[in-house]
């Protein structure tokens, strides 16, 4: 808490309110949250990752969510959008960890940042920009941002006194800390949220007049109900704003924290690592010159632990610098492991590379995105992952593809023809299709729209649930009509057999198309097997499910299927120790 607050500057408050009132408020036009604005000029970002340790599955999850959102936008035809990620390399935490490792922070950061890049490449994270906060253009952007805040009168010098948590790189109020004994019975003051030790710090710093942005922030959130999604997190931010909003210390004494960007014009101070880090979103957009074409069409994917920084500090800093808050902040919860928080001391930090070896990249991508519910923490353990992946990818989806492309049912290996006589549009007619078959056609027809709505609301797991329900319905359809009992010798039966296969392959084509953002390699394998090769045929705008049923031509009918590259997903074995 600052000892010296800014004098109650009503004039400043009026200025902040006036600045907020005069914005063009682009959020008004994006009622549907993601989907408005110029599609080619939109940014999706991950948080930038601390390099004090190697990446774990929690980091991967943040990146995967953003990747799936970005890929889904591309599927919708928004090709020019950008997707940024990177590493957060300054601050006390990195300075101390590098020293403990007996190396320079530069070398330490190079090594760990490369690990993140390596992980993202292997995981298929399709980023367009990778930023490191130690890069010169970022330093330039941060200096410019700082100078703007200073010149607009939002910074002042004061003695700061309060608790600092190095692990969280954040200042905590007395209500956010508690005293706890360690293993040796020594009492320490720790952060209530993370359990990490905090230290009392007292020094002269620069303060940011955050307290004056309470009302502009409230107004922004009242007008932009979807700015923070999902809703419980929006409510959480409103609750924070109902409490006291003290000014924020935004620099540290350089004698203690030298691994960071010096305050312009004052070499005795280092810019607070969170101000430095948040500005990365502008650096990517070419700030201070090129960002205007993009900003504020930015959508930040963040974990719940860093919500306050993104939903309060960042919009306030932006307003202070004369810029608008980001279009949207998408918030996710955390992964625990066998019911426990991941931590180095418990030795249960899960290595993503080990997961790729165990489940394959797409298998693990599927697990995290299918099981991860943004509003709730998810729990990972091997048996759960194996069960889910085997049942949904190997059995339901892989089994369906295998059945419908098997040489015994489809000896010519072509996309079979559709018979309107067998499956007439009028369900009361004389065809062979049952009521459930018409339900299937209607479910799969509605699926792309349903999936897109779930993506827009950042409910990727619901999109996957909807897809898997349709996959199961399609398996039921094939099972119900037993095409293997039909004879190709009998022309009437052959027509029906081909129609069954045509419908099933059309369903599979829709699933393959929709699954591209989540399991890109497996979706590619599936679509290639169906003979759906070109990017245009794989886009959502051309999905045109079961066009023959709707009385139109099908570009796929009669086409030779792609080569058989083996099982879509070979079943995973249970762990020997049953863990
Ligand atoms: N460097 C800051 C972010 C600055 S953004 C301007 C930071 N880095 S972090 O490496 O600690 O965390 C990055 C992301 O990983 C956050 O979204 C965080 O929520 C996420 N995760 C870290 N542990 C996690 C889990 N156990 N589960 C899911 N995600 C978690 O914070």
The per-residue b/e assignment along 8-41, b for 16 or more CB within 10 angstroms, e otherwise, is ebeebbebbbebbeebeeebeebeebbbbbebee
Q: Kindly give the residue spans of alpha helices, DSSP state H, lying in 516-574.
A: 520-530
CA-nearest residue, atom 24 of ligand 1: 58
Taking each helix axis from N to C end, the angle separating 361-371 and 520-530, rounded to the nearest 10 degrees, works out to 110
Task: Evaluate the omega torsion of the peptide bond into residue 296 and state whether it is cis, within 30 degrees of 0.
Answer: yes
- Token pair recorded at residue 203: 């020094």
The alpha helices in 516-572, defined as continuous H runs, are 520-530
Q: What is the pLDDT of residue 193?
A: 84
Q: What is the pLDDT of residue 38?
A: 56
* Residue in 303, 329, 348, 375 to alter for ligand 1 test, most ligand atoms within 8 A of Cβ: 303
Q: Is the CB of 88 under 6 A from ligand 1?
A: yes
Ligand 1: residue whose CA is nearest its atom 19: 303
For ligand 1, atom 25, the nearest C-alpha belongs to: 58
**Which of 405 and 578 is assigned the larger pLDDT?**
405
Mean pLDDT of 50-69: 97
Does the structure show a pLDDT above 70 at 535?
A: yes
Instruction: Specify the 3-state DSSP secondary structure of 514.
Output: helix
Task: Summarize pLDDT for 21-49 with one digit per residue, the tens.
Answer: 444 333 333 333 333 345 567 999 999 99
**How many Å apart are CA 133 and CA 253, to the nearest integer?**
20
Token pair, residue 26, equals 């682009």
Instruction: State yes or no: cis peptide before 230, omega within 30 of 0.
Output: yes
Angle between helices 105-122 and 57-75 (to 10 degrees): 50
Pick the residue whose CA is nearest to atom 23 on ligand 1: 58
Mean pLDDT of the chain: 92
Residue among 45, 47, 276 to mutate when testing ligand 1 (max atoms within 8 A of CB): 47
Give the Å distance between the CA of 315 and the centre of ligand 1.
19
Q: Compute the distance between CA of residue 57 and CA of residue 334 in angstroms, rounded to an integer.
A: 10
Instruction: Give the closest residue (by CA) to ligand 1 atom 17.
Output: 303
Q: How far is the CA of 321 from the centre of ligand 1 (A)?
A: 26
pLDDT category, 577, cuts 50, 70, 90?
A: low
- Residue 78's pLDDT band (cuts 50, 70, 90): confident
> In this prediction, what percent of the chain has a pLDDT beyond 90?
84
Supply the pLDDT for residue 427: 73
Provide the token pair at 530.
Answer: 């169906």
Residue 559 DSSP label = P
Residue 47 Cβ < 6 Å to ligand 1:
yes
| Residue 3 scores a pLDDT above 70 | no
- pLDDT score at 474: 98
- Where residue 544 falls (left for φ over 0; alpha for ψ -120 to 50; beta otherwise) is left
- Which of 45, 59, 276, 281 for a ligand 1 pocket mutation test, highest count of atoms within 8 Å of Cβ? 59
Cβ–ligand 1 distance for 556 under 6 Å, the answer: no
Q: What is the pTM of this model?
A: 0.92
More confident: 64 or 426: 64
User: Does the pLDDT at position 384 exceed 80?
Assistant: yes
pLDDT in the model for residue 1: 31
313 lines ligand 1 (CB under 6 A): no
Whose C-alpha lies nearest to ligand 1, atom 13?
Answer: 49
- 363 Cβ closer than 6 Å to some ligand 1 atom: no
Q: How many CA atoms lie within 13 A of 506 on its CB side?
A: 31
Question: What tens digit of pLDDT does each residue of 142-183 get?
Answer: 999 999 999 999 999 999 888 999 888 888 888 899 999 888
Report the nearest atom of ligand 1 relative to the CA of 47.
5
Cα separation of 200 and 206, whole Å?
Answer: 17
Closest C-alpha among 394, 423, 391 to residue 506: 423
Ligand 1: centre distance to CA 203 (Å): 28
Q: What is the mean pLDDT of residues 252-273?
A: 97
59 alpha carbon – ligand 1 mean position (Å) = 6
DSSP 82-146: EEEEEEE--SHHHHHHHHHTTS-HHHHHHHHHHHHHHHHHHTT---SEEEETTSHHHHHHHHHHH
Q: How far is the CA of 168 from the centre of ligand 1 (A)?
A: 10
Residue 17 pLDDT > 80, yes or no? no
Q: Which residues neighbour 38 within 8 Å (Cβ) at sequence distance 6 or greater? A: 297
Residue 576 has pLDDT above 80, yes or no: no
CA distances from 421 to 92, 132, 432, 517 (A): 73, 62, 8, 36
Closest-CA residue to 50 (of 259, 316, 327): 259
* pLDDT at residue 21 in the model: 45
Contact 168 CB / ligand 1 (< 6 Å): no
Provide long-range contacts, Cβ within 8 A and 24+ apart, for 112-117: 112/51, 112/52, 112/53, 112/54, 112/87, 113/51, 113/87, 113/89, 115/54, 115/55, 116/49, 116/51, 116/55, 116/59, 116/85, 116/87
Least confident span in 179-193, 298-312, 515-529: 179-193
Q: Which two tokens stand for residue 518?
A: 């989540």
Least confident interval from 57-66, 359-368, 418-427, 454-463? 418-427
Residue-range domains of the chain with CATH: 7-29+386-550 (1.10.730.10), 43-326 (3.40.50.620)
Q: Residue 439 pLDDT > 60, yes or no?
A: yes
Percent of the chain with pLDDT over 70: 92
Residue among 462, 472, 382 at smallest CA distance from 436: 472
How far lies 3's CA from each of 41, 161, 201, in Å?
A: 43, 6, 12
- In tens, the pLDDT along 492-528 reads 999 999 999 999 999 999 999 999 999 999 999 999 9
Q: What pLDDT score was predicted for residue 25?
A: 36
Q: Measure 46 CA to ligand 1 centroid, in angstroms.
A: 9
Residue 88 alpha carbon, nearest atom of ligand 1: 1
Q: Answer whether 372 contacts ligand 1 (Cβ < 6 A).
A: no
CA–CA distance from 224 to each of 30, 53, 194 (Å)? 9, 36, 30
pLDDT at 194: 84
Q: What's the pLDDT score for residue 49?
A: 98
Is the model's pLDDT at 574 over the cut of 70? yes
Whether 302 lines ligand 1, by a CB cut-off of 6 Å, is yes
- The Å distance, Cα 61 to ligand 1 centre, comes to 9
CA distance 69 to 45: 10
Cβ 61 under 6 angstroms from ligand 1 = yes
């Amino acid at each position: 808490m600052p000892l010296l607050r800014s004098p109650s500057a009503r004039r400043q408050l009026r200025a902040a309110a006036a600045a907020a009132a005069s914005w063009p408020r682009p959020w008004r036009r994006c009622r549907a949250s993601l989907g408005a604005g110029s599609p080619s000029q939109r940014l999706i970002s991950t948080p930038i990752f601390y390099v004090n340790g190697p990446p774990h599955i929690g980091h991967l999850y943040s990146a995967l969510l953003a990747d799936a959102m970005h890929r889904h936008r591309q599927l919708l035809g928004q090709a020019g959008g950008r997707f940024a990620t990177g590493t957060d390399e300054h601050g006390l935490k990195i300075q101390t960890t590098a020293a403990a490792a007996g190396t320079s922070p530069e070398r330490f950061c190079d090594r760990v940042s490369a690990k993140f890049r390596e992980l993202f490449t292997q995981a298929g994270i399709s980023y367009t920009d990778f930023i490191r906060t130690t890069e010169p253009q970022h330093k330039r952007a941060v200096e410019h941002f700082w100078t703007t805040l200073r010149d607009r009168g939002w910074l002042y010098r004061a003695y700061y006194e309060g608790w600092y948590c190095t692990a969280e790189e954040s200042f905590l109020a007395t209500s956010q800390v508690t005293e706890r004994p360690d293993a040796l019975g020594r009492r320490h003051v720790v952060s209530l949220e993370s359990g990490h030790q905090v230290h009392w710090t007292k020094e002269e710093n620069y303060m940011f007049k955050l307290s004056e942005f309470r009302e502009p922030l409230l107004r922004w959130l009242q007008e932009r109900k979807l700015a923070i999604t999902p809703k419980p997190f929006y409510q959480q931010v409103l609750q924070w704003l109902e409490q006291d909003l003290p000014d924020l210390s935004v620099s540290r004494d350089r004698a203690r924290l030298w691994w960071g960007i010096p305050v312009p014009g004052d070499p005795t101070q280092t810019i607070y690592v969170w101000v430095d880090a948040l500005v990365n979103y502008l650096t990517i957009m070419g700030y201070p010159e090129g960002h205007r074409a993009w900003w504020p069409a930015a959508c930040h994917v963040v974990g719940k632990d860093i919500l306050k920084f993104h939903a309060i500090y960042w919009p306030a800093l932006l307003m202070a610098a004369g810029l608008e808050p980001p279009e949207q902040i998408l918030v996710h919860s955390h992964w625990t492991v066998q019911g426990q928080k991941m931590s180095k001391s418990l030795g249960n930090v899960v290595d993503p590379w080990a997961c790729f070896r165990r489940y394959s990249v797409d298998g693990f991508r599927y697990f995290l995105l299918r099981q991860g519910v943004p509003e709730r923490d998810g729990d990972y353990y091997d048996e759960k992952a194996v069960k889910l992946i085997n049942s949904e990818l190997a059995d339901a989806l892989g089994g369906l593809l295998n059945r419908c492309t098997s040489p015994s049912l489809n000896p010519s290996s072509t996309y079979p023809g559709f018979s309107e006589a067998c499956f007439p549009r009028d369900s009361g007619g004389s065809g062979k299709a049952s009521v459930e078959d018409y339900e299937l056609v209607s479910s799969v027809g509605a699926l792309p729209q349903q999936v897109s709505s779930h993506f827009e609301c950042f409910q990727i797991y619901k999109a996957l649930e909807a897809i898997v329900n349709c996959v199961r319905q399609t398996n039921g359809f094939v099972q119900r009509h037993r095409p293997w009992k039909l004879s190709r010798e009998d022309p009437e039966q052959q027509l029906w057999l081909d129609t069954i296969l045509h419908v099933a392959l059309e369903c599979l084509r829709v699933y393959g198309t929709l699954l591209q953002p989540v399991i890109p390699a497996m979706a590619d394998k599936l679509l290639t097997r169906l003979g759906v090769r070109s990017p245009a045929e794989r886009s959502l705008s051309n999905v045109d499910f079961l066009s023959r049923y709707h009385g139109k031509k099908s570009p796929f009918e009669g086409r030779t299927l792609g080569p058989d590259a083996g099982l879509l997903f070979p079943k995973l074995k249970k762990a020997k120790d049953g863990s």
